[in-house]
Amino acid sequence: MPNHGKYPDELRERAIRMVLDHGHEYGSQWEAICSVAEKLGPKAETVRLWVRQAEKDTGRRPGATTDERAELKRLKRENAELRRANDILKAAAHFFGAELDRQPRK
């Protein structure tokens, strides 16, 4: 899992592991998340998001995995780049087509 925030990957993985391994010791998963967040430092909502994504990655919860989200992001970026290139080519074709129309015919 790539590190995108201010917390190291090790802390993220430890928090997820603690919630999933010790969740049965609490009345709800939210209580486990709050306890782990208090012990490790990040906000409870941050830990909750980490746990939810980990559950998606392991197939325990429906939704896009981290790899699928990264691939979608890459494809969207590539699509935008191709659209820009296509617009440039269309403009160039229009420009050169207009230039050919202006040249006197022999």
Q: Where do we find the tokens 């486990």?
A: 32
1 and 50 fall within a common domain: yes
16 with 45, same domain: the answer is: yes
Mean pLDDT along residues 73-79: 98
Whether residues 49 and 89 fall in one domain: no
Where among 48, 63, 78 does a domain terminate?
A: 63
Contact yes or no for 71/62 (Cβ under 8 A): no
pLDDT of residue 83: 98
Q: What pLDDT is recorded for position 101?
A: 74
pLDDT value of residue 105? 62
> In this model, does residue 40 exceed pLDDT 60?
yes
Q: How many CB atoms lie within 10 A of CB 50?
A: 23
- Is residue 74 domain-shared with residue 38, that is, in the same domain? no
Give the whole-angstrom CA distance, residue 20 versus residue 24.
8
Expressed as residue numbers, the domain containing 83 is: 66-106
| Helices and strands counted in the chain (H then E) | 4, 0
Percent above pLDDT 70 for the chain: 92
Amino acid occupying residue 106: K
The mean-pLDDT minimum among 23-32, 75-84, 95-104 falls in 95-104
**Number of structural domains, the chain?**
2
Residues 44, 8 within the same domain: yes
Residues 36 and 9 in one domain: yes
Please write the tens of the pLDDT for every residue from 52-61.
999 999 999 9
| Mean pLDDT of the chain, nearest integer | 91
Same domain, 21 and 50: yes
pLDDT at 2: 55
CA–CA separation, 72 vs 66, rounded Å?
10
- The CATH number for 36's domain is 1.10.10.10
